[in-house]
Amino acid sequence: MGQFFNNLLQDINAFLWGLAGYSSQEITTLAEDSWIGYLLAAIIQAALLLHVLAAGTVLFTWAERKVCGRIQDRLGPTRVGGKFGWLQSIADGIKLLCKEDLIPDEADSLLFRIAPYLSISASFAALIVLPFSDGWVAQQLNIGAFFILAIMGLEVFGVILAGYASGSKWSLYGAMREAAQVISYEIPLAMCVVVPVLLVGSMNLGTIANYQAGWFTNWLIFHDPFAFATFWIYFTCGIASVNRAPFDLAEAESELVAGFHTEYSGMRWSLLFMAEYGSMFTVSGLGVLLFLGAWYGPLPIFNSWTSGTESWYLAQMANLVGCLNFVLKSSLLVIVMIWVRWTLPRLRIDQVMTMCLKYCVPLSLIGLSGVLLWQLLAIPSLNDLAPARSDLTEHWAEKSSSPFVKDSQEKVDLFDGRNTQ
Amino acid sequence: MLDPTLINNKNIEYDAQTNEMLINMGPQHPSTHGVLRLIIRTDGEIVSEIQPHIGYLHRCAEKIGEHLSARQWIPYTDRMDYLAAMNMNLGWSLTVEKLLDHQVSKKLQHLRLMICELGRIASHLVGMGAYGLDLGTASPFFYAIREREKILDLFEKACGARLTFSYITPGGVMADIPEGWIDECKAFLDYFEPIIKQYHTLLTTNAIFLKRTCNLGILSKEKAIDYGCSGAVLRGSGIDYDLRRDGDPFYTEMYDGYDFEVIVEKEGDYPKDYPYPDVPREAQLGDCWHRFYVRMLEVIQSIKLIRQSFEKYQSIPEPIEKPLKLQQKLPKGEIYLETEAPRGQMGFGLFSEGDPIPWKVRARSSCFCNLSVLPELCRGVYLADIPSIVGSLDIMMGEIDR
């Protein structure tokens, strides 16, 4: 990504000098991989990802209110910000900012303050390796899938701290429940994540995503029946690991008042809240990346441009469409989570653990071994039905003719290291 | 051996306790149905002992009754079980009427039955919705309230109020129902009856719901009788007893000539006029699921009763009589009458010295007895089962504390 911004700066430079009539050879550009480029990239990426988190929370809160309103035969918010109550979440945010920041006497003040930041940092950090489109990722790690799992596990520390530090018995209950639940569900969740990793042979989320390019039959969920089942186990465990109903035991309002965030108010509470919604998006996004074709739409209209075209600008355009694709698919999964939440009663703690240990773990193991066998015996998968990716690439490469097409040498520079990791 | 000076150290005590924990649930807890306070002794998630504390909604209704005439006390009965105020009004009115030996006309009886059974539906709807809320699903509550609002609209047309009706009063009702009310009521029942199937899909047969309610909080027949339980709690334990059929003749006269069934499990099944779900395998007689299911089926019986009452009410042409005078003198004597309110047997006692103002007034709350089984049922359950059991008892704090 640092290189990307370096290139961008070069492009801008070249464009400006080009206007003045100089040829590209004569242009003095910024040094390759300069630290300024990387710093700039890091700041811009952090700002962008922070906005993903904030805007995601605002939009998903609004969606949750609307969806739950419709499910309950109500309208949901209708007044703030026009007809559909678009600004309801903003209004709530302002309300939360204005609320008194209470720290109970019994609370361990330092830990009580740290907990929300820990939670939100973990939720935020997981976005670092989440690619929104081909190459649109803050840091393309070779172990992206593993990194997300590890970081998402960190979020539970914030919750445990919040529950412990509140000095309330209800909070402590919530924290203990969350600890037991999240740690248990990490196992089947990781098993399910291993399945696409096995199929593709890489933990790099970009590589896994690009493997699914082309028709929707190329998506890993359609690879074989085991992979199909694994996606649903993944989604169930994902709901459990982000504490959404019917697994929202940590904040079970009918039992534990509000669970671990009983004593929180104002902005601190809203940070915990944002962390929850951020993780919801991350889990959904990871599901989309691993199983549902990532940023590739069901039909290969735009996605082949991403790699086929020689035009850098066209490729970015296709990336933008891919990004929309990805966000749309992830949001759909989030809405399914909302839908489930407002339909089902809550499970009891022992039932949640039973479900994990007796059903999810064995089922995910079966899925894993099934996929292994499938690979081992080289059984043809549904993915083979779709036309091969290279054919499509050639097809689109012929078609694309843009005034911005650059010479092949420059193209190699631009895309070097993008998908080769 | 620990250093004795350390034992008194607050931090060590606070951090290293492994014994049982005492938690206070309520009176501001979201799922204790008002202002019930439960002192819970827990070992981790397991509850070892539970003790209900009541009295946070005590409003001296009985004492106030000693300063008001019989009809003036009606609004106070509204505020006892505020979710089924009509049935409370009926209980007190019948008690006063029985003391006066003044049986109201047949037409009025049909009207009262119609109103009270509607009240029963409204009350059971809240019981059903709030139970869903206790188990962590908010949506059934909204569906229930949607239907209840329609009943309240009907009540509003009859008496002008939506919560505290003061409609049924000693000697009659405040005013006859308006023109066209019965048609609206019929339309409501036609709309409502098929909707109950949705509730069964949403809750009664939901796998998670079954997991949370079946085989939990089992109240045996003997215990139910010992503790003086009544209403759906008693019938959920398999005891065939309903005051509408077995009660005081002065009360059951209202239900003469009506065809309805007392909902109670017989040979592993419930009386079925409708194809409603079977008893699941994991459910045991007297558990939370049975108590819930009895309520759900009672709604059907109430609909049946209301449908019958329309014709009977309309077949009597003459207008209904006026209620008793506000300062009606009561004969000397004492009286106690129990009626079948939605939550159980609601008893009113009246001791009169011959004045319009009773010398003593007493109310016997069904929920008080139903709540008293809570320590028995909650021994050794999970913490999360407490809302589940409390919700299945369907208590009403206004009635317990009065």
CB-based contact B121:B152 (threshold 8 Å) = no
Contact with chain A for residue B29, Cβ under 8 A: yes
Query: How far is residue B367's CA from residue B344's CA, in Å, rounded to a whole number?
Result: 7
CB-based contact A265:A272 (threshold 8 Å) = no
Q: What distance lies between CA A97 and its chain's CA centroid?
A: 27
Question: Chain A contacts of B208, Cβ < 8 Å?
Answer: 246, 344-347
Q: Is residue A40 part of a domain?
A: no
CB-based contact A78:A85 (threshold 8 Å) = yes
Query: pLDDT at position B8, please?
Result: 53
Question: Token digits for A75?
Answer: 């309208």
At residue A189, the 3 state secondary structure works out as helix
Q: Is residue A6 part of a domain?
A: no
Q: Is residue B35 part of a domain?
A: no
Least Cα separation, residue A365 to chain B (angstroms):
24
Contact with chain A for residue B173, Cβ under 8 A: no
Query: How far is residue B203's CA from residue B128's CA, in Å, rounded to a whole number?
Result: 9
Q: Is residue A238 part of a domain?
A: yes
Cis bond upstream, residue B27 (ω within 30): yes
Q: Is residue A37 part of a domain?
A: no
pLDDT at residue A39 greater than cutoff 60: yes
Query: How far is residue A11's CA from residue A18's CA, in Å, rounded to a whole number?
Result: 10
CB-based contact A72:A343 (threshold 8 Å) = no
Residues with Cβ within 8 Å of A321's Cβ and at least 6 positions away in sequence, in order, are A297, A302
Q: Beta strand pairing status for B344-352 and B333-341?
A: antiparallel
Rounded (5°) CA angle A132-A135-A140 = 90
Distance of CA A253 to CAs A170, A248, A292, B134, Å? 10, 9, 33, 9
pLDDT at residue A195 greater than cutoff 60: yes
Tell me the pLDDT band of A415, cut-offs 50, 70 and 90: very low
Query: pLDDT at position A362, please?
Result: 92
Tell me the pLDDT band of A366, cut-offs 50, 70 and 90: very high
Q: Is residue A370 part of a domain?
A: yes
Question: Cβ contact (<8 Å) for A170 and B146?
Answer: no
Query: pLDDT at position B207, please?
Result: 86
Sheet strands side by side (includes B360-364): B333-341, B344-352, B360-364
CB-based contact A212:A290 (threshold 8 Å) = no
Query: pLDDT at position B202, please?
Result: 83
Tell me the pLDDT band of A234, cut-offs 50, 70 and 90: very high
Q: Is residue B21 part of a domain?
A: no
What mean pLDDT is predicted for residues A401-418?
38
Question: Cβ contact (<8 Å) for A345 and B136?
Answer: yes
Q: Is residue A236 part of a domain?
A: yes
Q: Is residue B10 part of a domain?
A: no
Smallest Cβ–Cβ distance between B211 and the set A249, A342, A351 belongs to A351
Query: How far is residue B138's CA from residue A90's CA, in Å, rounded to a whole number?
Result: 24
Q: How many domains does the structure of chain B reveal? A: 1
pLDDT at residue A109 greater than cutoff 50: yes
CB-based contact B306:B118 (threshold 8 Å) = yes
Query: pLDDT at position A3, please?
Result: 64
Range of the domain at A201: 102-415
As beta bridge partners, residue B334 has: B351
Query: How far is residue A279's CA from residue A272's CA, in Å, rounded to a whole number?
Result: 11
Query: How far is residue B299's CA from residue B301's CA, in Å, rounded to a whole number?
Result: 5
Q: Is residue B359 part of a domain?
A: yes
Q: Give the mean pLDDT per block of 10 residues along chain B (402 residues).
A: 52 57 80 81 84 87 88 89 89 90 87 90 90 86 90 90 88 86 90 86 85 87 89 88 87 87 79 74 86 89 90 86 83 90 89 88 89 88 87 87 84
Mutate: best of A348, A349, A351, A355, partner B, most B CBs <10 A: A348
Least Cα separation, residue B230 to chain A (angstroms):
26
Q: Which is nearest to B25 in space by CA: B47, B3, B2, B1?
A: B47
Q: Is residue A374 part of a domain?
A: yes
Query: pLDDT at position A399, please?
Result: 40
Residues with Cβ within 8 Å of A62's Cβ and at least 6 positions away in sequence, in order, are A77, A85, A86, A88, A89
Residues with Cβ within 8 Å of B116's Cβ and at least 6 positions away in sequence, in order, are B86, B87, B90, B168
Q: Which is nearest to A419 in space by CA: A146, A149, A142, A193?
A: A142
Percent over 70 (pLDDT), chain A: 77
The amino acid sitting at A271 is L
pLDDT at residue A36 greater than cutoff 50: yes
Question: Chain A contacts of B386, Cβ < 8 Å?
Answer: 255
Q: Which is nearest to B290 in space by CA: B363, B234, B361?
A: B234
Q: Is residue A208 part of a domain?
A: yes
ipTM: 0.78
What mean pLDDT is predicted for residues A182-198?
89
Q: How many domains does the structure of chain A reveal? A: 1
Q: Is residue B105 part of a domain?
A: yes
Range of the domain at B132: 61-401
* CATH, residue B207: 1.10.645.10
Query: pLDDT at position A29, please?
Result: 47
Q: Is residue B72 part of a domain?
A: yes
Question: Token digits for B173?
Answer: 């009702």
